[in-house]
Structure 1
Amino acid sequence: MNDLLLRALRAEPVERPPVWFMRQAGRYLPEYHEVRAKVDFLGLCRTPELAAEVTLQPLRRFPFDASIVFNDILVPPAAMGLDLAFLKGHGPKFNDPIRGVDDLGRLKAPSIERDMPHVLETIRLLVAQLEVPLFGFAGAPFTLAAYMIEGGGTRHFTRTKSFFLHHPVAFQRLLDLLTDVVADYMVAQIEAGCAAVQLFDTWAGALDPEDFRRFALAPAARVLERVKGVPRLYFARDAGPYLRWLPETGADALALDWRVPLDQARAALGDLPVMGNLDPEVLYGPEDIVRARVRGVIRAAGPRGHVFNLGHGLLPTTPIASVAAAVDEVRAWSWAREG
């Protein structure tokens, strides 16, 4: 088993940073589209053999040092009773979002084994085949709550903020329910064989400082406090202004987006391991620039406690050659040489 990732997440000496990419399985690969031609997105997520196949596809092309199970962060809210659909060109949508306090009564506390068995079976299939560590993941309570209230992606979060400003007690009740569900879900993924887990707080950066600490950080910390035994990462997109608070989650490492210079992150976070943080759109540039930017990220992060990744997921039209060049540049790095 390649343990470079796990050593880096423990801030042990490594010869080079490990590399993997968020959304490394997916729409930029033609072989993914061959699978998707047979099944819709949710059907793919809910069919362990297909989800495992899609998870493995990028590792056949690129020598990544980790894998991440193919799934979606909105699977738990769907298991809680909401009607989830994925619309072509529009992304995820809940057909029956939470729009009032009374709607909370429609939600149930799901059984992971009964209501999301496909995720655990996918993990078991992958662990039997992989030679690199497998990441499990979940959406953080605030991000899931925002999706459930807005009904899908949004730019302004007007409904979510109106809900927690008018109904703070009910909103906290929703966060508490999600905290329990997400913690149980992550624990189940570890028990199925995941070697690390990541908590995605995609929408946390939409909050002001007071609400960020109350509604994003606090629930995330409660989730991670219940998740033990493997490295736990927290990723809050657009949360650079709150960098100094992120260790309050208790995460073993922090995934950072491209808006945070990693040398500044080091100054703020000390020895806490970090993951990131190449801008995904740099991969649309010429190869020499891609390689130079990769080297810049590595130098800024320093020799210990760094996992090379993007600052967010690979985009659907990312050139495959650029992914190959970026991975090759990371793997060619040597701290013994560059020192």
Structure 2
Amino acid sequence: MHLENDRFLRALRRQPVDRTPVWMMRQAGRYLPEYRTTRAKAGDFLSLCRNPELCCEVTLQPLERYGLDAAILFSDILTVPDAMGLGLHFVEGEGPVFEHPLRDAHAIEALGVPDPETELRYVMDAVRTIRSALGSRLPLIGFSGSPWTLATYMVEGAGGTDFLTIKRMAYDTPEALDSLLAKLAAAVSLYLEAQQRAGADALMIFDTWGGVLSPADYLRFSLEPMARIVEHLKRVTPDTPVILFTKNGGQHLEAMAETGCDALGLDWTTDLGAARARVGERVALQGNLDPAWLLADPARIETAVARALASYGKGPGHVFNLGHGILQQTPPEHAAAMVEAVRALSPAYHA
């Protein structure tokens, strides 16, 4: 499909653009009053995620408000483990909880790899609904959690932990964890492939918890399964850009670039200019404003945007984004100030 605005896809391919494209991780979320209205209509978060029409509604909300350069599927990173039968539910104020966490090799052996068009059909229907609503306006990003990140929730049984349970498994029975990660790599590969077939124009893997691992353990338990996914996607859909994002993963950029992905997401702990010098022309870079900057005065936000753009420098290959998801406390007009600053200041870097 020919897109009216393909700025985001061109940047991921390191092709010339007229200005730096911009979107925001978690751009559809609780900081928007219109999102809160739709979520109340759904009843609860999981019901919202499982309703393709409402997923489409909230996906489009930030596009209408800000005029961003990409839409991202509204869903949750835990859809895959939920489809594996672990009993996902959300506790108000605590986040995701699994009724049946994985604690041994027998439980892992019993897991099946879900079929994305059956057990996860509601996600594919959401992608198709959003793609139809977008028409040729903008690209749509599909996504998944990384195998390691999904495994942390599945083994710990909840989010926000100290990761001691899964680290004990990694150090004491690494073969069991390897088995789990292999199943998750297979499941995520099929899941993202199905999203592309349903209408996603780019695919992103969120490795939220890879940064809690030592360098050697990161390569084994986090990066290696992601590399398998990238290899699969590049075999079945070679023209679809793939973005890898490891929070607190700045020390691993060279190894991440070697996977064959098209772009790396950066959090705010890594300097854009230094990252560009390290990876060279191999990948595009996405990021990396600290989301807390959007709590500051709009004039200060513009200064922070200017500093990030200057850090990356001139030329293609930069997608402006936050270094992690937008905060719930963000005033929507402050997010607008960031987007407007990117639009105003970035053309000078692409002359």
Relative to the length of structure 2, the TM-score reads 0.94
* 1:37 correspondence with 2:40: yes
Deviation at 1:336? 4.2
Question: CA-to-partner distance for each residue in 1:57-101, whole Å, 9 max, x for gaps?
Answer: 111111100000100010000101110011111111111111122
What corresponds to 2:23 in structure 1? 20
What corresponds to 1:190 in structure 2? 196
Deviation at 1:102? 1.9
Deviation at 1:137? 0.1
What is the aligned counterpart of 2:100 among 88, 96, 109?
A: 96
**Is the partner of 2:63 in helix, strand or coil?**
helix
What is the aligned counterpart of 2:146 among 131, 137, 140?
A: 140
Deviation at 1:325? 0.3
* 1:329 correspondence with 2:341: yes
**Is the partner of 1:93 in helix, strand or coil?**
strand
Amino acid at match of 1:270: G
What corresponds to 2:62 in structure 1? 58
What corresponds to 2:329 in structure 1? 317
Tell me, in whole angstroms, the C-alpha distance in 1 between the residues paired with 2:179 and 2:194.
23
What corresponds to 1:209 in structure 2? 215
Tell me, in whole angstroms, the C-alpha distance in 1 between the residues paired with 2:222 and 2:297.
38
Question: CA-to-partner distance for each residue in 1:126-179, whole Å, 9 max, x for gaps?
Answer: 111211100000011111111100111134210011011111111111011001
The answer for unaligned runs of 5 or more in structure 1 is none
**Is the partner of 1:314 in helix, strand or coil?**
coil
Tell me, in whole angstroms, the C-alpha distance in 2 between the residues paired with 1:287 and 1:154.
31
What corresponds to 1:3 in structure 2? 6
Amino acid at match of 1:163: M
**Is the partner of 2:118 in helix, strand or coil?**
helix
**Is the partner of 1:333 in helix, strand or coil?**
helix
Distance 1:72 1:212, change over 3 A: same
Question: CA-to-partner distance for each residue in 1:40-69, whole Å, 9 max, x for gaps?
Answer: 111100010011101111111111000001
Deviation at 1:17? 0.5
Distance 1:109 1:288, change over 3 A: same
Amino acid at match of 1:286: D
Deviation at 1:249? 2.4
On the 8 A contact 2:206/2:246 being kept in 1, the answer is yes
RMSD of the alignment, in Å?
Answer: 1.2
What corresponds to 2:265 in structure 1? 255
The size of the alignment, in residue pairs, is: 339
Q: After superposing the two structures, state which structure 1 stretch, 75-84 or 246-255, moved more.
A: 246-255
What corresponds to 1:293 in structure 2? 304
Distance 1:334 1:240, change over 3 A: closer
Distance 1:338 1:4, change over 3 A: closer
On the 8 A contact 1:82/1:107 being kept in 2, the answer is no
On the 8 A contact 1:81/1:106 being kept in 2, the answer is no
Tell me, in whole angstroms, the C-alpha distance in 2 between the residues paired with 1:283 and 1:142.
29
On the 8 A contact 2:148/2:181 being kept in 1, the answer is yes
On the 8 A contact 1:199/1:235 being kept in 2, the answer is yes
What corresponds to 1:82 in structure 2? 86
Tell me, in whole angstroms, the C-alpha distance in 2 between the residues paired with 1:338 and 1:101.
53
Question: CA-to-partner distance for each residue in 1:213-254, whole Å, 9 max, x for gaps?
Answer: 111111000001111231000000011222232213221000
What corresponds to 2:71 in structure 1? 67
What corresponds to 2:319 in structure 1? 307
Tell me, in whole angstroms, the C-alpha distance in 2 between the residues paired with 1:26 and 1:321.
14
What corresponds to 1:168 in structure 2? 174
**Is the partner of 1:15 in helix, strand or coil?**
coil
**Is the partner of 2:216 in helix, strand or coil?**
helix
What corresponds to 2:128 in structure 1? 124
On the 8 A contact 1:93/1:152 being kept in 2, the answer is yes
* 1:273 correspondence with 2:284: yes
The answer for unaligned runs of 5 or more in structure 2 is none
